Structure 1
């Protein structure tokens, strides 16, 4: 085919290979790109369909993801538009006058798809599914220079398995299917849906809350799609301001209240535009209970820390440059910054709609040149066409209000020192649990994670059994198991005399919880762990604070190792366990008291 054909993929195999690394954070963000196309096409219903097959692993069989599809009932595409949609850098919303919606760059379908898989097939129809047109991209064919242009769309029936599992086949619509999934970090449909649900609910929260779109998530067996025993649920709105009703947050009502809204005018290309900044703060009843951060609603808020940046009613990202790491109270405020597509250049919207690159906390002093006043700084930034200039007022507004919000949040908890002291005992486990959830969302799976889906009673019984095996009495084990499971903790500690003094700790996995047994026979127990657990005179506040931090740090160190071990597979896990024993022997030698 001639190199200058109007449908060529430009610049063919080398460009496509480079575009695989275009910055999609994970499969959930790439899936969201396909949903953008659906909502842009006025779809009222969108489905995420995850097809699995049972495969034989080293020691067991398990379901593994094979195909991912996004189905919608949008307006569909004709032959010309369908072919354009699979070209990198082309599309129907490239004109600046046609960029009021969530689409923009003409890169979404091919770039998101090729970032996760080697082949993407697309069916689209405008007069019933019998009229569906099909075309595809095949990475291997492109890299081998066997495919230099998007194949001509042809009428082709939609495969039976997709017609069986999809519920959104309307008069018009589109089905995008990914196969040969070589870059999807999550290996199961459960993990893909779990990690996509929170993100999708937050990105499209307004569309979901206002019933402008419904997003179904379904998993199924590719060989037996009619069984219908997989996951089947609808995404709920996930509002980081916690002002909406009927969201994924488990609190009975909106758990935040609005703190204030500020409209900031920005002039750009001769026109005036508004940036709206909305603040919210947790209600007192959401924080008044002991260990509120460890409750379901507190854990939910911990996953939405940062500033939600919204463009065309769609969230681009959660910007954490304003967040104080690590202060758990940061979960109790919310900020949303919304701007129109006309300000894309000012905010620096990335082509995959995952970030506003120019939007972050701005340090005025670092921007100033020697002796420059605030007014001179503004004028210089304006003359240099620097986007920092228009965003300075937005940044200052956020800084001012966050300072007030943080003081308010701190004052909410005055006089509750006793509750905070009790909270210290689980602080390491709570923090590690939150970081583990982040690792799970990034695609790191542990063996214990599979048991998190057991019922609460089943988990309590499993954890109790593990604690009793560690030497705890039945009553003590039962009480601790109930606390761990009801608080949604991933980790807990017990103290027991292991058969030998070599390991400083051992690791068990029960009911989705990792139990870390501290070995009372190890010399390190008496010289470090036991000493750190001793209560000090309350008048020695500085010493107590230092010991508390040391105790938390030690627990986090042990938890980090336990999680590392939990994530290993097969022979590597055995090698890691051997390493743990070797480490214990060396520590025993280093910590043994002199005769």
Structure 2
């Protein structure tokens, strides 16, 4: 058998690689992966909104020498099967080039290390003219002309990545930078989510800035805002540990508008349930049950954090963009057995509206009645609020009150509530619903209830102590203690 070398034709292959599937957000995230691997603590993204000619990413990592830069600019510079440090976010040795060229036609990298500065450039137009894998090596005069290079030269070490000829990133821009600015806004949202664990902490391990404005972390689990965290689970695969932890978001009635947006928006609450897979604390894929479980209304508050080491990349089918992964069979089997337990708290929150006080469940104003004709809801005449109203009724008025309550029960708009509930439009908490008006209303309602037991102090104290177990007080736990103190 004869063998013949068939090297790819550079212009055609490089143009084809631009269609791998990067969007602007994924491309920028891929560059930041390199910065994190280089031990950077600060990443600055610079662009001129009114002049969409170039965009730059500058980090304060350890930088590269001449040989390291040449290796970084070579396509396929690393074997994906090589063993890498635990904090290394790369894999294929293609990310810098493919991510950049998906958005621009000229990529320039300038780097500083040990007091020396080096630069190289890929220009697709140059490659097309030469018909070969020709990269430019910058001399000092060339380096001075690189956009935004002055920021790098102020640092002792670091790397500057510059995109020019923004034929994809600024496609359709009329020259005023409006389209570029909109795409950068989506990039910011993506970075806030994908790197939220790197951006969190005091001080954070990483700071990302967009034209001097810091990117704020976007925690999909709302850990500091009332989410319930389940126990940590561990799966051992090929001597490596995969860690899982389920989080149950607060019921939507307990969330402010800002918190709902952070959790994915009203529509996103259901779509974003499922597994959130992290590779070295960098979010890879999210909002999926990997076909192990259906997305359901009652489970939409469940989000499961999965931490995977880079040593298992080959099992998770990680793609070049690091935006897709699929668990191997050994992990899928374990996940399948854990999912029912993980989603149970979300089901409970929806069934009981998430309000549990002490050892007893919240007593709702409405009671559910199931008979041969199906299910109906009626006002609970034994609920303390309703019972107080009936006890205080003057002679002859009790039947009138009961008639009104029956009319309310009979006219409950069940179908409208169901439709609104399915679209997450019911129970949205106002930004300031714990204000003075709500507090005054609840306190007056509590006084009315307690006044009915003025001659029975023991029952009065029991009712006051258990105030948080009854609707509507259970909706406002932060106010219940204040009311109890004032009325005790």
Smaller-chain TM-score range? 0.5 to 0.7
Q: Residues 30 and 96 of structure 2 are in contact (CA less than 8 Å); yes or no, is this contact kept in structure 1?
A: yes
Q: Pick from 6, 13, 34: which aligns with 2:11? A: 13
Deviates more, 1:73-82 or 1:399-408: 399-408
Q: Partners of 1:339 and 1:94 in 2: how far apart?
A: 16
Aligned to 2:16, the other structure's residue is in SS state helix
Determine whether 1:332 maps to 2:301: yes
Query: 1:546-592 CA deviation, whole Å, 9 max, x = no partner?
Result: 89759999x9xxxxxxxxxxxxxxxxxxxxxxxxxxxxxxxxxxxxx
Query: Cα–Cα, structure 1 residues 185 and 19, in superposed 2: closer, same or farther, change >3 Å?
Result: same
Determine whether 1:274 maps to 2:241: yes
Determine whether 1:312 maps to 2:280: yes
Query: 1:362-409 CA deviation, whole Å, 9 max, x = no partner?
Result: xxxxxxxxxxxxxxxxxxxxxxxxx32343112332343124433334
Taking the TM superposition and a 5 Å limit, the aligned residue runs for 1:4-403 are: 11-24=9-22, 26-53=23-50, 65-91=52-78, 94=80, 96-100=82-86, 101-128=88-115, 131-155=116-140, 156-159=142-145, 162-163=148-149, 166=151, 169-184=154-169, 187-210=178-201, 211-218=204-211, 232-243=212-223, 253-266=224-237, 268=238, 272-283=239-250, 287-289=252-254, 292=255, 295-302=257-264, 305-306=272-273, 307-321=275-289, 327=297, 332-356=301-325, 358-359=326-327, 387-403=328-344
Q: Residues 76 and 173 of structure 1 are in contact (CA less than 8 Å); yes or no, is this contact kept in structure 2?
A: yes
Q: Residues 102 and 312 of structure 1 are in contact (CA less than 8 Å); yes or no, is this contact kept in structure 2?
A: yes
Q: Partners of 1:95 and 1:345 in 2: how far apart?
A: 8
Q: By how many angstroms is 1:32 displaced?
A: 0.7
Q: By how many angstroms is 1:133 displaced?
A: 1.5
Query: Cα–Cα, structure 1 residues 550 and 203, in superposed 2: closer, same or farther, change >3 Å?
Result: closer
Aligned to 2:27, the other structure's residue is in SS state helix
Aligned to 2:263, the other structure's residue is in SS state helix
Q: Partners of 1:398 and 1:552 in 2: how far apart?
A: 22
Q: TM-score, normalised by structure 2?
A: 0.64
Q: CA RMSD in A?
A: 3.6
Structure 2 unaligned runs (5+)? 172-177, 356-362, 367-406, 426-488
Q: Partners of 2:225 and 2:422 in 1: how far apart?
A: 33
Q: Residues 149 and 160 of structure 2 are in contact (CA less than 8 Å); yes or no, is this contact kept in structure 1?
A: no
Flag the structure with more relative contact order, 1 or 2, with Cα contacts below 8 A and sequence separation at least 6.
Answer: 2
Q: By how many angstroms is 1:20 displaced?
A: 0.7
Structure 1 unaligned runs (5+)? 55-64, 219-231, 244-252, 360-386, 419-535, 556-595
Q: Partners of 1:172 and 1:390 in 2: how far apart?
A: 41
Q: Residues 257 and 281 of structure 1 are in contact (CA less than 8 Å); yes or no, is this contact kept in structure 2?
A: yes
Aligned to 2:75, the other structure's residue is in SS state coil
Q: By how many angstroms is 1:14 displaced?
A: 2.1
Query: Cα–Cα, structure 1 residues 11 and 331, in superposed 2: closer, same or farther, change >3 Å?
Result: farther
Q: TM-score, normalised by structure 1?
A: 0.53
Q: By how many angstroms is 1:256 displaced?
A: 1.3
Q: Residues 257 and 282 of structure 1 are in contact (CA less than 8 Å); yes or no, is this contact kept in structure 2?
A: yes
Q: By how many angstroms is 1:35 displaced?
A: 0.8
Query: Cα–Cα, structure 1 residues 296 and 547, in superposed 2: closer, same or farther, change >3 Å?
Result: closer
Aligned to 1:346, the other structure's residue is in SS state coil
Aligned to 2:337, the other structure's residue is in SS state helix
Q: Residues 135 and 154 of structure 1 are in contact (CA less than 8 Å); yes or no, is this contact kept in structure 2?
A: no
The total of aligned residue pairs comes to: 356
Q: By how many angstroms is 1:298 displaced?
A: 1.2
Point out the structure with max Rg over C-alpha.
2
Q: By how many angstroms is 1:257 displaced?
A: 2.6
Aligned to 1:68, the other structure's residue is in SS state strand
Q: Partners of 2:37 and 2:421 in 1: how far apart?
A: 52
Aligned to 1:22, the other structure's residue is in SS state coil
Q: Residues 276 and 305 of structure 2 are in contact (CA less than 8 Å); yes or no, is this contact kept in structure 1?
A: yes
Query: Cα–Cα, structure 1 residues 406 and 188, in superposed 2: closer, same or farther, change >3 Å?
Result: same
Aligned to 1:132, the other structure's residue is in SS state strand
Q: Residues 83 and 152 of structure 1 are in contact (CA less than 8 Å); yes or no, is this contact kept in structure 2?
A: no
Aligned to 2:276, the other structure's residue is in SS state strand
Q: Residues 301 and 331 of structure 1 are in contact (CA less than 8 Å); yes or no, is this contact kept in structure 2?
A: no
Query: 1:113-171 CA deviation, whole Å, 9 max, x = no partner?
Result: 0111111111111144xx4222111122323444423233543434485156x489421
Q: Partners of 1:551 and 1:172 in 2: how far apart?
A: 54
Aligned to 2:156, the other structure's residue is in SS state coil
Q: Partners of 1:417 and 1:144 in 2: how far apart?
A: 77
Q: Partners of 2:55 and 2:129 in 1: how far apart?
A: 25
Query: 1:164-206 CA deviation, whole Å, 9 max, x = no partner?
Result: 6x48942111111111212227854532342122221222223
Q: Residues 10 and 131 of structure 2 are in contact (CA less than 8 Å); yes or no, is this contact kept in structure 1?
A: no
Aligned to 1:347, the other structure's residue is in SS state coil
Q: By how many angstroms is 1:539 displaced?
A: 4.6
